Amino acid sequence: MTGVVAYQIPRNAMTWLLVAMFAGIIPHVDRLPIWVTLVCLLCGGWRIMVYRGRWALPGGWLRALLVFSGGAAVWGHYGTLMGPEAGSALLLLGFCFKLMETHTRRDAFVVVILGYFVVATAFFFRLEIVDTLYLLLVCFLVTAALLGLHQSPLQTAPRRTAWLAARLMLQSVPLTLVLFLLVPRIGPIWALEQPSASARTGLSDEMTPGDIARLSQSPALAFRVEFEGAVPATDQLYWRALVLDQFDGRTWRRHPQQLHPDWVVWPGNPNPWRSSQQALGQATAYRVIMEPTDKRWLFALDLARSDQRGIGQTRDFRLVNRVPVSQPFSYRVESALNHRLDPELPYWLARRNLQLPEDGNPRSRELALQLRQRSGDAEELVSNALALFRQQPFSYTLKPPLLSGDRVDQFLFDSRRGFCAHYAGALVFLLRAAGQPARVVTGYQGGEFNPLGNYVLVHQFDAHAWVEVWLPGKGWQRVDPTAVVAPSRVAEGLEQAVAGEGSFLADSGFSPLQYRQWAWVSQLRLGWDYLNFAWHRSVLGYDADSQRRWLSSWLGGVDWRRLGVALVVAIAAVLGVLALWVLWRNGATTRDPVLKEYQRLCADGERRGVARQPGEAPGRYLQRLGETFPGQARQYQQCARLLDDHLYRAEPTPGAVKRLRRLRRSLA
Amino acid sequence: MSNTPPNSRAVDDSRARAVSRDQITQMVDAVERVVLGKRTQVRLALACLFAGGHLLIEDLPGMGKTTLARTLSTVLGFSFKRIQFTSDLLPADIIGASVFDRERGAFEFQPGPVFAQVVLADEINRATPKAQSALLEAMEERQVSADGVTMPLPAPFFVIATQNPASQAGTFALPESQLDRFLMRIELGYPDQKAERQMLMGQDPRRFIDRLDAVIDLPALQRIQCQVEQIFVSDSLIDYLQRLLDFSRQSSDFNCGLSPRGAQALKRASQAWALMEGRDYVIPEDLQRVLPAVAEHRLRGASDHSGHRGVSLARLLADAVDVTE
């Protein structure tokens, strides 16, 4: 160390940098391993102690050790240095380490640039409206630090810097909007490996009734739906996501073939099972804006069809996305609520939907045979089976007893308490045992209507399981045994269904959904959700498709040339307005009419080749003009006297403006 | 005063100003007879006096610093003391000391040379900081404390200090805090050819100093100082002054901007200059005229460690800051 520190980062800039660092770490904290946060806080604390003059900056060896061990630790934790997760951890560490060794101006600039990157990487993981506002705040802090670096060390008023930074940010808003709206949305040039399924709450691809003693419900949002027409009745809203058609006596699963590429047909390709689906009547169109699930399956009412690229239809008439949904995702669907599916059931499909374990649950099988014998045809079989649930003392609960061994037997004959998964599983078992093809479908049922934005909110606690049974001539028909046991579950939602039990959202005491009985809480919650909805739809959902639609409505067709012209014109307009504003602010105009006249005089003088220097007083300048144009020296002298009198003398002369104007006109 | 007609006061004022202007012209002429060809510096020095500030004259040896200071004090006709600053000067040599009086059997305070209306501190940067600060304290407070007794200094109290540029060997540069207490710092520079020839051909002008008469008396000076305070400073001029201050504080060319004391000094000095120009209001030219003398020694460039770039900074201020908004 050379003892003499030639350059010191201005206090002002240092304060802003430190604040920006702490603020920049916060959005990453919940995702990063705890030690990264701790190291960052340590670095920040160290830097503060240096700033206060208590500690020294760390020496070269310590810095090298920190950098290498930091890199090694990230590698050890993630097994890679690539990808958004490990990359952002590395970036954050680098940010803090760099701040700690910052003592030259150049270092400080590097830290500022890193700060902007830290903000940008946070957007990989957070896109909600609050997150965005917060990250804008961090962006503002980093900008303030950047400004502080350019200010005199004597400028120690942080408020002044803040005000300047805020103005800069505000001035950038119009250009940001233009770029956001008009820059062509092309696919990403580089693909980012998205963080894979960390534990997100949501639907599972398995169903094991009997293992869960207490169904936990999450108030988190699953997706929102905006209908283009009227919203169908709540008991029509069965959002299909998965078909579980394999049962091993304990768990319902998907058949392995469902994961095979042939199971899906993509738009543009010939649909081999087109003949198996017949839409009857009008289609209902709507847009689903879903939260990330990290799964490929999508939610839709049957019979669903989407023309969006990357969305395919499966053999069991569900919609899937080509890649896991790791970002908020929106898609448009048309559903024919009235339909006929698989009027002729292929043999292989029938066999699959009759599959049962070799043995087990003898009492249920026995019951199924009795039902079969009692019923004339398939439809009667179904209604008899449902009647069973209605007549026997079955009850709907979120706290069912645990089951083991012959679970279906236990449920149907002993416990008789359970939630949708129990009923759906048991009914499919009975139907299959009676020789009728049937399957379990899971997804969401119902939803909450938000009158503010005319859309439906579906929460995680709306998750549901029901049954589809194949009837000859009619194809697959939806049957919901839960609706028989607890009609309110389907008609009014989960809350009503378990009202007696009081178990609704028992785990999430702080969720505003708990307080639905208070109207204003509901209002507030729905209002807030509407804001989020609008954010998702208009900002996050502004993809290539919506851009094309929006632009065509404005420009009457989109091609590269029109887009280019629109972009250039819009940017020029924004910059022009800003430039005019700056001009207007910085001089061309003033409130004082005498000064205005003087400014016109200066403009005239400049046109005549004698420009005013900034530091030139009016008297001096007009004298110079008089010397350049000796014929008019007298008039210029008069102007100078008038100006001096008005601007600097105790008693301004009345009529100065008029006389000045007259003089100016005589001069011009 | 309320029953006098509104105009009569203005007429009185302007008549009084005319009298003052005559006296000022006389003073300038008198000083110019000794210090040849330095009219601007002489006027600045007088403006400094009228604004009630202290003056620092900085230049190389032999440029006439002491002559100017002595002439000024003679023309003023006030009690005058001169302190030659040397490296072994002690505060007591400036302020005075208590001496035991054998007859009365008590200590008696013997006032030092600082108890005068005009004090010439010659070569102030040759003394140690300890001695310097004794004087500089008196300059700011206009009183001295010795043996626990605080004694006021005579009024007016005007310090003219001279110094060699700090990079000369054997000097103790005045720190910024003390430099700030001088209202003005002026440099004399070499005389022009004509003035120098006149000096070489004729007799030594210094001989005239003793023959000069006092041009001004205490009431006259107090009147002038009072008039300086009444010189009108318009909003437009204050705006300009604030833009100057703002620029010096914001621009990255400056290490430190002008202090509020510096701002006040600028305002008062330009008022005094306006009076000397015979105006009852300040115009930007007045401000620009006194700006180098008032600001140069208070400014320091951002990458300037020797403290010698104040000159270009003051010029930058005058050139870059817009006079009108």
Complete DSSP assignment for A192-213:
--PPP-----S--S-B-TTS-S
Tell me the pLDDT tens digit for each residue of A237-286.
899 988 998 898 888 988 888 888 888 888 888 888 778 888 888 888 99
- Tokens 């300038």 sit at which residue? B28
pLDDT of amino acid A578 = 85
Portion 281-310 of B in contact with A at CB < 8 A = 281-285, 288, 302
Q: State whether B281 and A649 contact (CB < 8 Å).
A: yes
Q: What are phi and psi of B129, to 5 degrees?
A: -55, -30
Using pLDDT thresholds of 50, 70 and 90, give the confidence band for residue A428: very high
Mean pLDDT to the nearest integer, B171-200? 84
pLDDT of amino acid B273 = 93
Encoded tokens for B71: 């002439």
Mean pLDDT to the nearest integer, A444-454? 84
- Tokens 């807030």 sit at which residue? A528
Q: Please give the torsion angle defined by the CA atoms of residues A245, A251, A256 and A258, in that order, rounded to the nearest 10 degrees.
A: 40
The Cα of A649 is separated from the nearest Cα of chain B by a number of Å equal to 5
Asked if the model's pLDDT at residue B99 lies above 80, the reply is yes
The Cα of A620 is separated from the nearest Cα of chain B by a number of Å equal to 8
pLDDT of amino acid A441 = 92
Structural domain includes residue A279: yes
Using pLDDT thresholds of 50, 70 and 90, give the confidence band for residue B2: very low
As annotated, the residues of chain B forming the CATH 1.10.8.80 domain(s) are: 231-325
Judge whether B257 is closer than 8 Å to chain A, CB to CB.
Answer: yes
Pairing of strands B158-163, B54-58: parallel
Judge whether A618 is closer than 8 Å to chain B, CB to CB.
Answer: yes
Whether A420 sits among the annotated catalytic residues: the reply is yes
Structural domain includes residue A167: no
CA dist A426 and A404 (Å) reads 14
Structural domain includes residue A31: yes
Tell me the pLDDT tens digit for each residue of A468-516.
999 888 889 999 988 888 888 777 777 776 766 666 666 555 566 666 6
- Tokens 């949708």 sit at which residue? A420
Burial class (CB in 10 A: 0-12, 13-18, 19+), A285: middle
Same domain for A232 and A357, yes or no, is yes
Asked if the model's pLDDT at residue B169 lies above 80, the reply is no
Domain end marker among A509, A525, A545:
A509
Interface with chain B: mutation pick from A152, A583, A598, A620, highest number of B CBs within 10 Å: A152
Closest by CA position to A397, among listed A215, A219, A235: A215
Q: Which fold has domain B231-325?
A: Helicase, Ruva Protein; domain 3 (1.10.8)
Query: Which spans in A454-613 are helix H?
Result: 481-485, 487-491, 494-497, 519-534, 544-555, 560-583, 593-607
Same domain for A494 and A371, yes or no, is yes
**Omega into B156 within 30° of 0, i.e. cis?**
yes
Q: State whether A615 and B323 contact (CB < 8 Å).
A: yes
The Cα of B276 is separated from the nearest Cα of chain A by a number of Å equal to 16
pLDDT of amino acid B278 = 86
Judge whether A152 is closer than 8 Å to chain B, CB to CB.
Answer: yes
pLDDT of amino acid A86 = 87
Judge whether A649 is closer than 8 Å to chain B, CB to CB.
Answer: yes
Domain end marker among A151, A182, A206:
A151
Whether A139 sits among the annotated catalytic residues: the reply is no
pLDDT of amino acid A466 = 92
Using pLDDT thresholds of 50, 70 and 90, give the confidence band for residue A421: confident
SS3 B61: coil
The DSSP output letter for A331 is: E
Same domain for A146 and A232, yes or no, is no
Same domain for A145 and A286, yes or no, is no
pLDDT of amino acid B308 = 54
Partner-chain residue, chosen from B249, B254, B320, that has the shortest CB–CB distance to A615: B320
Tell me the pLDDT tens digit for each residue of A323-341.
888 777 888 899 988 888 8
Partner-chain residue, chosen from B232, B255, B325, that has the shortest CB–CB distance to A650: B232
Q: CB of B234 within 8 A of CB of A648?
A: yes
Using pLDDT thresholds of 50, 70 and 90, give the confidence band for residue B168: low
Encoded tokens for A227: 């209908």
Which runs of E-coded beta strand occur in B164-286? 182-186, 254-256
Share of chain B above pLDDT 90, in %: 8
Q: CB of B276 within 8 A of CB of B50?
A: yes
SS3 B48: helix
Same domain for A317 and A443, yes or no, is yes
Tell me the pLDDT tens digit for each residue of A209-248.
776 656 667 778 889 998 888 888 888 889 998 899 889 8
Q: CB of B183 within 8 A of CB of B262?
A: no
Q: State whether A152 and B318 contact (CB < 8 Å).
A: no
Domain end marker among A124, A151, A178:
A151
pLDDT of amino acid A437 = 92
Using pLDDT thresholds of 50, 70 and 90, give the confidence band for residue B1: very low
Q: State whether B252 and A598 contact (CB < 8 Å).
A: no
DSSP one-letter string for A384-428: HHHHHHHHTT-EE-SSPPP--SSHHHIIIIII-EE-HHHHHHHHH
Partner-chain residue, chosen from A152, A590, A617, that has the shortest CB–CB distance to B284: A617
Structural domain includes residue A549: no
Structural domain includes residue A416: yes
Mean pLDDT to the nearest integer, A60-72? 89
Residues of A in contact with B255 (CB under 8 A): 152-154
SS3 A439: strand
Q: State whether B254 and A587 contact (CB < 8 Å).
A: no
The Cα of A650 is separated from the nearest Cα of chain B by a number of Å equal to 6
User: What domain count does chain A have?
Assistant: 3
Using pLDDT thresholds of 50, 70 and 90, give the confidence band for residue B5: very low
- Residue span of the structural domain in which A59 resides: 11-151
Asked if the model's pLDDT at residue A293 lies above 90, the reply is no
Residues of A in contact with B323 (CB under 8 A): 614-618
Using pLDDT thresholds of 50, 70 and 90, give the confidence band for residue A3: very low
Tell me the pLDDT tens digit for each residue of B7-18.
555 667 777 777
pLDDT of amino acid A469 = 92
Closest by CA position to B68, among listed B210, B206, B235: B206
Q: State whether A154 and B282 contact (CB < 8 Å).
A: no
Same domain for A401 and A283, yes or no, is yes
pLDDT of amino acid A113 = 92
Mean pLDDT to the nearest integer, A596-605? 86
Structural domain includes residue A163: no
Asked if the model's pLDDT at residue A197 lies above 50, the reply is no
Average pLDDT, chain A: 83
pLDDT of amino acid A213 = 59
> Which residue is closest to B241 within chain A, CA to CA?
A615
Task: Name, in order, each residue with C-beta under 8 angstroms of B218's C-beta and a sequence gap of 6 or more.
Answer: B78, B156
Using pLDDT thresholds of 50, 70 and 90, give the confidence band for residue B171: confident
pLDDT of amino acid B9 = 58
Q: CB of B254 within 8 A of CB of B246?
A: no
Pick the more confident residue, B207 or A603: A603
Q: CB of A31 within 8 A of CB of A5?
A: no
Judge whether B324 is closer than 8 Å to chain A, CB to CB.
Answer: yes
CA dist A255 and A244 (Å) reads 7
Q: CB of A602 within 8 A of CB of A625?
A: no
Q: Which of A28, A339, A459, A464 is catalytic?
A: A464
Share of chain A above pLDDT 70, in %: 90
pLDDT of amino acid B306 = 55
CA dist A148 and A302 (Å) reads 59
Characterize A607-646 residue by residue with b for buried, 16 or more Cβ atoms within 10 angstroms of its Cβ, and e for exposed.
eeeeebeebbbbbbbbbbbbeeeeeeeebbebbbebbbbb
Structural domain includes residue A166: no
The Cα of B281 is separated from the nearest Cα of chain A by a number of Å equal to 5
- Between chain A and chain B, how many beta carbons pairs sit less than 8 Å apart? 75
pLDDT of amino acid A1 = 38
**According to the per-residue pLDDT averaged within each range, which of A253-262, A429-438, A651-660 is highest?**
A429-438
Using pLDDT thresholds of 50, 70 and 90, give the confidence band for residue B124: confident
Query: CA triplet B75, B76, B79: central angle to 5 degrees?
Result: 115
Whether A77 sits among the annotated catalytic residues: the reply is no
> Which residue is closest to A591 within chain B, CA to CA?
B325
Q: Which of A480, A602, A639, A646 is catalytic?
A: A480
Using pLDDT thresholds of 50, 70 and 90, give the confidence band for residue A645: confident
In words, the CATH class of domain B6-230 is alpha beta
pLDDT of amino acid A133 = 92
Structural domain includes residue A76: yes
Q: Which of A420, A422, A536, A639 is catalytic?
A: A420
Asked if the model's pLDDT at residue A192 lies above 60, the reply is no
Asked if the model's pLDDT at residue A79 lies above 70, the reply is yes
CA dist B64 and A511 (Å) reads 87
The Cα of A288 is separated from the nearest Cα of chain B by a number of Å equal to 54
